[in-house]
Structures are given as C-alpha cells and as structure tokens.
Amino acid sequence: MSNKLSVIGCGRWGSCLAWYTDRIGEDVTLYGRKGASDFAALKETRKNEFVTLPASVALTDDLAEALASDTLIISIGSQNLRAFLAECAPFDLTGKTIVLCMKGLEIESGMRLSSIVREVLGERVRVAVWVGPGHIQDFVLGIPNCMVIDSDDEETKTELAHRFASDLIRFYVGQDLVGNEIGAAAKNVYGIGAGILDGLGYASLKGAFIVRSAVEMARFITACGGDAKSIYGLAFLGECETTFFSPHSNNKRFGEKFVRGEAETRLCEGVYSLEVLHRQSREKGVEMPICDALYRCVIARETDAKTLLATLFSRSLKEEF
C-alpha cells in the first residue's frame, strides 16, 4: 500500500528525493514555487540534469495541495527554512511528519534546523532529519549507500527508517539528534577545506585533515549537549568520504575554485555553517583551529590558503588525541 508524501523543494536533491520515494512505492507530490525556473523546466520536460521523473510523480506549485500530505520531506536552502515554515504555519499541520533532508545551521541564530521547526510549528508536528553520505549522480546509477534517520521521538525515526529503506539506501536509526545535525552541517565546512587542499595540490593531507576535523568537532558537539561519539558515524565521518573525495561535492568544488580565484555560483551551505561554528566555538570556549583558520581565510579574508596551511601544520607538538 502506497503512502502519501510531498517533497518540498524541486532542486537537484529535492527532485532526486521525489524520484527515490516514488521508486520505493510512495505516492509522491513534488512542490516547487510558482515562477521558479527549475520547477518550470520540470513541468515542461519532467527531467533535469540528473533525474527523469516518472508520470506517477505529481508536480504542484500549490502549497496547500503539497501540505495535504501526511509526510512532508523538506529539501530547500537551510537559510530559507524559517521563512518557509512561517508560510506553512497557518495550515492545519497537526500530526504531520516533517523530514528535513537538508544540512546546515541558521546563520543568524545558530540554531539546528529541527529546533527551528519546533520553534515555528511547536509540538503539533513530528520532526526527523535524513542525513548521511550519498550523491544524486550515484543513486540514479543504482550505486547504493547508507544514511541515517534521527529524531527526538523513537517511534518516528524507527518508522521512517523502515519505511524509506530499499536496496539502494540502507538506513540506520540515529541515537543523537544534536550530534547528527551538527555533524552533517559541519562536514560541509570541512569539505571546503578539502577542496582548498585539492586546489593547492596537497590532497595527501586529507587523511590528517579528516582526523583532526573529527577531533575538534567531537569537542564542539559535546559542548552543545550532544554525544561526541556521533562524530564517528555516518553524519560526519561517513559524509566526509563523499564530501572530501567525490567530484560531485559542491563544498569541495567551492574550496577548489576559491583557491583558483574563480567564482562558484552553486549553493555552498558550508559557508553559512562556517560562520556559525566559528562564532559559537568562541562563545563556548571550544578550541577549533581548523574551523578558525578556514574562517580567517574564506570569510574574513585575513590570510591566504597557503598561509592557512602553514599556520595549521606549524603548530606546537601535540599528542595525537
């Protein structure tokens, strides 16, 4: 028996989510804003550069129609979430399940995305996050991966993990919503650093970069009330594989182009999260040398990429962990 759900957001990842959930037997509606160029293209051709949507996926620019589904998968820019939820608030959303398939931290408040849902919509909805490694380009070719569903409600995350599982994606049930959300957002930040290494021809340093990134993020997650061990799961280290090494990674591409002085027009969530991590690490008194160096290089423009690396690798001798 199919289940009714709506995917909110018709960009690359949103269209992939519509394709995937239709593939596993869901009754899917994909929502895009009226007048949006990517949605207009989907309506005309039912495809974009990555996926072709079958006729069974309904397309709508009517928000009321999209919100009629019991399950709402949201895949939009993290900085647009609060405004979108405010549009949804007047509708009757009681008992609906909201699944956030997006990664980031709100730049102004520093809040996690699930916390924004709670603040705007209250307790009338169930909230979960869908995070973990995987790129659209691989999924559409049938290349499998593993991902995580987490929530502050045990029944919700267990139910969704079973519901969305298939031969293409194996889901794990997360045990730390705080750690998994922060980790998923932070991997984009360090992905920029990985791109900088590639752009400078220092890809051999990625091993050290991953390990030290995990160490400082474990400290940060602990300071935020999460479990440090979560950093070693799929939401951070698992995602580092795709973010640090895949040619499909937007954040890695941003770092490479930054080093070369080229403009990057695609969305790079890591830039927003970098500003939040830098600010909050100082507020919480957490030592995060890589994050600090990336901030000074990418956002404050106080130093260049080669000086950034020299600073990091000339630090005083320390024990490994």
- Helix ranges (DSSP H) in the chain: 12-23, 37-45, 63-67, 81-88, 113-121, 136-139, 154-164, 177-200, 206-223, 239-245, 250-260, 269-284, 289-294, 305-313
Single out the residue of 56, 47, 51 nearest to residue 27, CA to CA: 56
Is residue 284 annotated as a catalytic residue, yes or no? no
Amino acid present at 269: E
β-bridge partners, 150: 129
Give the C-alpha separation, 159 to 105, whole Å: 26
Amino acid present at 297: C
Q: Is 151 exposed, middle or buried, given 0-12, 13-18 or 19+ CB atoms closer than 10 A? A: buried
Scan for tokens 């019991």, then name that residue: 70
Q: Which of 187, 206, 252, 257 is catalytic?
A: 187
Written as six digits, the tokens of 238 are 């698992």
Q: Are 186 and 298 in contact (CB under 8 A)?
A: no
151's enclosing H/E stretch is: strand 145-151
Contacts of residue 312, Cβ cutoff 8 Å, sequence gap at least 6: 289, 290, 293
Contacts of residue 78, Cβ cutoff 8 Å, sequence gap at least 6: 102, 103, 104, 105, 106, 113, 185, 269, 272
Give the C-alpha separation, 159 to 156, whole Å: 5
Catalytic residues: 187
